[in-house]
Structures are given as structure tokens and as C-alpha cells.
């Protein structure tokens, strides 16, 4: 288990740091993702529970430090986050490893500062280190092109 200080990946300046998550982030990250991604109260609760489970319960592939967090150092508040879920996919009977970015979000007052881009750069490194042959993301069509993604499969 790492201390919060040991999880820091880089100082972003302006009172922000980019760091890896720990199980101790489960409550705060659940609240953040519920607020950012939930469309109504039921959806907020569902997303918060999913986030909390990803960090606090054993997961077959995701580790508790597989989220990136941009944190405001003065308050400790999470202002942006995303994660990388390792998966194994099969095509024509051939298995291959995939990195799946998910729960990409930034608090409205911190948008357009390049925080998501910095986090994608980090998880792209993680994905390469883990030997992922592909990264796949679902979400807003065309938004993820700015981070190097193209529409490939119709889900």
C-alpha cells in the first residue's frame, strides 16, 4: 500500500498534482464520478457504486491504483479522473489484451486545461507497459479523436 505522497506522478503546477489512486480514494472518487457522470439521482448512485466497487472490492483485472486522479493540493479535492480497465477480448477465436479507458471526467471549472490529455498520456504508458495490443473506449463519438482514438467498431 502506498501513501498518497508516493502515488504522485507529477506536479502540474497551479496547485494541482497528477497521481495514482489508492483504495483510500474509493469514497471521494465514487462521489466525484457520480456527480460528474450521473444524469439523475439514480444514475449518480449507480456510477458512484460502480466506482467504489472498482477500488474497494477485488476486481479480476483492475488494481486499486489503475485510476489517475488530478487533485487540488490545497483542498485534496479530486478535479479530474479516469481509469484503465485491462480486459481480454476475442476476435475470430484469438484472444488479445485490451486497455479500456473509462470514467473520464473533469469538474466543469477545471475543463479546457488539458487535464484529460495528461491523464491519457499516462494511461497510454501503462497500457504499453502491460502489453495491450489495443485500447478501446466507448463514449462520446468523435470526442476521443483528440486523444488519438478513431471509431472502429459499432457496439
Band the pLDDT of 2: cuts 50, 70, 90.
low
**Mean pLDDT for all residues in the chain:** 91
pLDDT tens digits along 106-140? 999 999 999 999 999 999 999 999 999 889 887 77
**What's the grid cell of residue 84?**
484503465
Q: What is the pLDDT of residue 4?
A: 64
* Percent of all residues in the chain with a pLDDT value above 70, rounded to a whole number: 94
Question: pTM here?
Answer: 0.90
In this structure, are strands 94-106 and 134-135 parallel, antiparallel, or unpaired? parallel
pLDDT tens digits along 37-73? 999 999 999 999 999 999 998 899 999 999 999 999 9
Amino acid at each position: 500500500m502506498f501513501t498518497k505522497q508516493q502515488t504522485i506522478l507529477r506536479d502540474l503546477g497551479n496547485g494541482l498534482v497528477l497521481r495514482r489512486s489508492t483504495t483510500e480514494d474509493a469514497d471521494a472518487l465514487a462521489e466525484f464520478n457520480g456527480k460528474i457522470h450521473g444524469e439523475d439521482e439514480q444514475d449518480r448512485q449507480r456510477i458512484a457504486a460502480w466506482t467504489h466497487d472498482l477500488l474497494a472490492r477485488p476486481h479480476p483485472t483492475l488494481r486499486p491504483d489503475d485510476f489517475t486522479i488530478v487533485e487540488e493540493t490545497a483542498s485534496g479535492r479530486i478535479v479530474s479522473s479516469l481509469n484503465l480497465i485491462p480486459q481480454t477480448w476475442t476476435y475470430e477465436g484469438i484472444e488479445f489484451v485490451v486497455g479500456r479507458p473509462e470514467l473520464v471526467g473533469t469538474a466543469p471549472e477545471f475543463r479546457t486545461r488539458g487535464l484529460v490529455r495528461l491523464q491519457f498520456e499516462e494511461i497510454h504508458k501503462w497500457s504499453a507497459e502491460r502489453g495491450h495490443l489495443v485500447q478501446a473506449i466507448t463514449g462520446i463519438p468523435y470526442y476521443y479523436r483528440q486523444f488519438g482514438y478513431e471509431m472502429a467498431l459499432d457496439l
